[in-house]
C-alpha cells in the first residue's frame, strides 16, 4: 500500500479561510402533478473548508435533496448556494457539468458502478470525461485503488466484488478528479457492520489526511465520532 501522506502531498490542502458551502434560504420544492412536495425549506448553512459534517434526520427529512443540491445534481427552486466559492445559480448547464466532474465527488448507498466496466475503468471514467489522458488517469486510479486495498482487483467486474469492495471502488471513483468536497449519501446503507466501519473510517481518513471537506448523510452513528459538525434535518429544515 502506498503511503497516504505521499498521495496527500499531491492534493490541495484545504485553506481554512475558504468556505466549502454557503447557503441562504436554500429551498427545493418538487412539483408532482398538482402536488407540491418540499425537499428542503429555507436552509441557512455555512461550512468552512476541511470539515467533516454528518447530516442526520428521519427518512424524508431532506438529506438526499440537500446533497443533490450541493453536488449540482439538482437546482434549488429558491435561495442562494455557493460551493467551493462558486455560485451554483449562475452556472450554465455546461458549467454545472464541469462543477460536478471537478469540484465534488459523490458516493451513494447503491454504489452506482457501471456493470460492464471493470474496477479500474469505473474509477478512470470521471477523469476521462474531464479530459484527462488515459495513462495519467490510469496511474492515479491504480494509486487510489491500491490505497483502498483493491490493488489486486483492477480487472474485476463490479459483480465479482463484495459490497464493501464496490463501495471502496466508488470512493476511488469519487476521488479521481481530486474534488474539494466529497458528498456521501448513506454510504454504509448496503454494507455489513464490518465494512460499514471500514468505509466510515476511510471517509474520516480522507478528511484528516487529505483535508477534504466531507459531508455524510447517514442514519448510522458510526460517523459521529469524526464529526466536526452534526446537522439534523427535520421536515426540510435544519433543527437548532
**Which chain residues interact with Mg ion by CB under 5 A?**
63-64
For the purposes of burial, counting CB atoms within 10 Å of the CB of 128, is it exposed (0-12), middle (13-18) or buried (19 or more)?
middle
Task: Return the DSSP state at 88.
Answer: G
Give how far Cα 36 sits from Cα of 39, 40, 66, Å: 10, 12, 17
Q: Closer CB to ligand ATP, residue 3 or residue 59?
A: 59
Residue 27 as a binder of ligand ATP (CB under 6 A): the answer is: no
Of 66 and 161, CB closest to ligand ATP: 66
Specify whether the CB–CB gap between 16 and 48 falls below 8 A: yes
Residue 39 binds what, of ligand ATP, Mg ion, none (CB under 5 to 8 Å, by partner type)? Answer: ligand ATP
Is residue 126 at the binding interface for ligand ATP, with CB under 6 A as the rule? no
CB of 219: closest distance to ligand ATP in angstroms?
Answer: 6
Q: Is residue 76 involved in binding ligand ATP (CB under 6 A)?
A: no
Beta strands in the chain (DSSP E): 19-32, 35-48, 52-57, 78-83, 86-87, 104-108, 181-185, 213-217, 229-234, 237-238
| Residue 73 beta carbon to ligand ATP: minimum distance, rounded to whole angstroms | 11
Residue 3 binding target from ligand ATP, Mg ion, none, CB below 5 to 8 Å by type: none
Binding of ligand ATP by 63 (CB under 6 A) = yes
Q: Residue 198: what are its φ and ψ, rounded to 5°? A: -65, -45
Nearer to Mg ion, 165 or 185 (CB): 185
Query: Which residue of 14, 27, 43, 62 would you call a contact of ligand ATP, by CB under 6 A?
Result: 62
What distance in Å separates the CA atoms of residue 111 and residue 229, rounded to the nearest whole number?
Answer: 25
CB 162 within 8 A of CB 216: no
48 contacts ligand ATP (rule: CB under 6 A): no
List contacts with ligand ATP (CB under 6 A). Answer: 30, 32, 37, 39, 57, 59-65
Amino acid at each position: 500500500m502506498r503511503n497516504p501522506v505521499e498521495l496527500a502531498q499531491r492534493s490541495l490542502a484545504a485553506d481554512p479561510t475558504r468556505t466549502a458551502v454557503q447557503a441562504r434560504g436554500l429551498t427545493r420544492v418538487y412539483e408532482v402533478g398538482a402536488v407540491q412536495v418540499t425537499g428542503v425549506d429555507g436552509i441557512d448553512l455555512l461550512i468552512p473548508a476541511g470539515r467533516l459534517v454528518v447530516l442526520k434526520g428521519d427518512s424524508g427529512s431532506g438529506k438526499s435533496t440537500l446533497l443533490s443540491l450541493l453536488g449540482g445534481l439538482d437546482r434549488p427552486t429558491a435561495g442562494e448556494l455557493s460551493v467551493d466559492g462558486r455560485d451554483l445559480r449562475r452556472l450554465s448547464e455546461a458549467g454545472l457539468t464541469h462543477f460536478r466532474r471537478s469540484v465534488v465527488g459523490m458516493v451513494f448507498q447503491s454504489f452506482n458502478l457501471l456493470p460492464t466496466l471493470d474496477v479500474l475503468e469505473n474509477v478512470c471514467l470521471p477523469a476521462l470525461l474531464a479530459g484527462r489522458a488515459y495513462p495519467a488517469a490510469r496511474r492515479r486510479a491504480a494509486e487510489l485503488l491500491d490505497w483502498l486495498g483493491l490493488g489486486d482487483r483492477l480487472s474485476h467486474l463490479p459483480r465479482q466484488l463484495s459490497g464493501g469492495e464496490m463501495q471502496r471502488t466508488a470512493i476511488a471513483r469519487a476521488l479521481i478528479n481530486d474534488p474539494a468536497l466529497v458528498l456521501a449519501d448513506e454510504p454504509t446503507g448496503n454494507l455489513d457492520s464490518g465494512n460499514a466501519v471500514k468505509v466510515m473510517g476511510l471517509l474520516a481518513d480522507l478528511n484528516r489526511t487529505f483535508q477534504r471537506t466531507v459531508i455524510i448523510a447517514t442514519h448510522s452513528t458510526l460517523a459521529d465520532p469524526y464529526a466536526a459538525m452534526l446537522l439534523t434535518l427535520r421536515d426540510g429544515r435544519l433543527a437548532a
